[in-house]
Amino acid sequence: MASMEPKRVLKPVNATNPVSASTVSMEQLKKLREETTSTTAKSMQQASSSGSLAGGKDSASAETKDADPMASQRMKKWALEDFDIGKPLGKGKFGNVYLAREKQSKYIVALKLMFKSQLQKAGVEHQLRREIEIQSHLRHENILRMFGYFHDKTRVYLILEFAPRGELYKELQRCGRFDEKRTANYIYQLSSALTYCHSKKVIHRDIKPENLLLGMRGELKIADFGWSVHAPSSRRTTMCGTLDYLPPEMVEGKTHDENVDLWSLGVLCYEFLVGNPPFETESHSETYARITKVDLRFPELVAAGARDLISKLLRHDPRKRLPLPQVMTHYWIVENHTSADGATKSKP
């Protein structure tokens, strides 16, 4: 069995309160800038034939319609000197994330800094390249935007959309669990984002609260594509993701396709409503056993409609899991999901 990451390791990506660039000392900023060279990365090829900082022209109705605040600079070769650096937003395995402001547009972003030496030591350079290639091409209101990237002699920098309300996992910890309406809204939004990803032949493979952020209006945003894969063949065998969210086909070492994301969606819905994943145990071996048996147990607080949806997603046979369009029109989602203006969706 391939080694898994520790259970519930927090990977902070964003924070809740924007601050000015003055919160980082001038000495720190000067040191960073002195170490920065003018070396930049070439522009990413766009699936929509637009620049890496431009809005896509895809016709999918779910894609974000917002104008790109940095579109006028889409062919720019970025360097650290182009940004005012604010306070640290979080610390990751390979570096840190900072609040930043692009000087010319005054646009606020999250600047993710990673050390090349640590990436090389962990052997994940290919994973980072894949993450950049995938996320920089995606345009959906429930997917965190990657505007571009650049690097210097020792670091790689990702220019990311800033999610002001921070990490969903911390919000779940604060609340303990979410009510039906909030859960239904999140599952609907995530289903919309995954439908878009799958239409682009992108499988996420690591949907979990730690990889989700909250935008200005409280909308959910997928923020980490480190385990994602662009798989036109749709069949993969790599063991990846987080233990509590692994589907049976991965645990059993079988090939998998985009249906792994349906399983993760079911696990996520359960955790939102209950406060912990459905197959969580004290040991990895017990968790594996419960997953392969689909040993699903509901506490009384979970409503019948939610049980029905979760049970239809957590099926051992990937082909029998409820498709994403049917998740979005499931009667429990329809009864509890509200639109952006607060109106409850009517039954189709």
Extract the tokens encoding 309: 């949806």
Distance CA 158, CA 110 (A): 8
CB 195 within 8 A of CB 324: yes
211 is known to lie in a ligand binding site: yes
DSSP-derived secondary structure for 254-287: --B-THHHHHHHHHHHHHHHHSS-TT--SSHHHH
62 is known to lie in a ligand binding site: no
The pLDDT of residue 252 is 85
The pLDDT of residue 235 is 39
170 is known to lie in a ligand binding site: no
The pLDDT of residue 253 is 86
More confident position, 157 or 52: 157
Instruction: Look at 34-48, 53-67, 316-330 and tell me which has the smallest mean pLDDT.
Output: 34-48
161 is known to lie in a ligand binding site: yes
Helix (H/G/I), strand (E/B), else coil: 148:
strand
Radius of gyration of the chain (CA): 20
pLDDT beyond 80 at 269: yes
For the segment 104-133, the average pLDDT, to the nearest whole number, is: 91
Instruction: Look at 14-28, 207-221, 225-239 and tell me which has the smallest mean pLDDT.
Output: 14-28
**206 is annotated as an active-site residue:** yes
Active-site residue among 66, 68, 84, 206? 206
306 is known to lie in a ligand binding site: no
The pLDDT of residue 68 is 61
Instruction: Look at 48-62, 234-248, 284-298 and tell me which has the smallest mean pLDDT.
Output: 48-62
The pLDDT of residue 36 is 31
The mean predicted confidence, pLDDT, of the chain is 78
For the segment 182-209, the average pLDDT, to the nearest whole number, is: 93
CB 132 within 8 A of CB 230: no
Q: Name the maximum alpha-carbon separation found in the chain.
A: 60
Reference 12, options 240, 120, 166; nearest CA is 166
162 is known to lie in a ligand binding site: yes
112 is known to lie in a ligand binding site: yes
Reference 291, options 270, 272, 273, 274; nearest CA is 270
Give the predicted TM-score (pTM) of the model: 0.75
Q: Name the pLDDT band for 242 (thresholds 50, 70, 90).
A: low
The pLDDT of residue 61 is 39
Instruction: Look at 118-127, 154-163, 165-174, 225-234 and tell me which has the smallest mean pLDDT.
Output: 225-234
Q: What is the pLDDT of residues 50-86, one digit of tens each?
A: 333 333 333 333 444 455 656 555 557 899 999 999 9
224 is known to lie in a ligand binding site: yes
Beta strands at 212-214 and 220-222: parallel, antiparallel or unpaired: antiparallel
For the segment 229-242, the average pLDDT, to the nearest whole number, is: 43
* Domains within the chain, CATH numbers bracketed: 21-161 (3.30.200.20), 168-336 (1.10.510.10)
Counting DSSP H helices and E strands in the chain, the numbers are: 11, 9
∠ CA 303-206-204 to the nearest 5 degrees? Answer: 105
Residues 6+ apart with CB under 8 A from 300: none
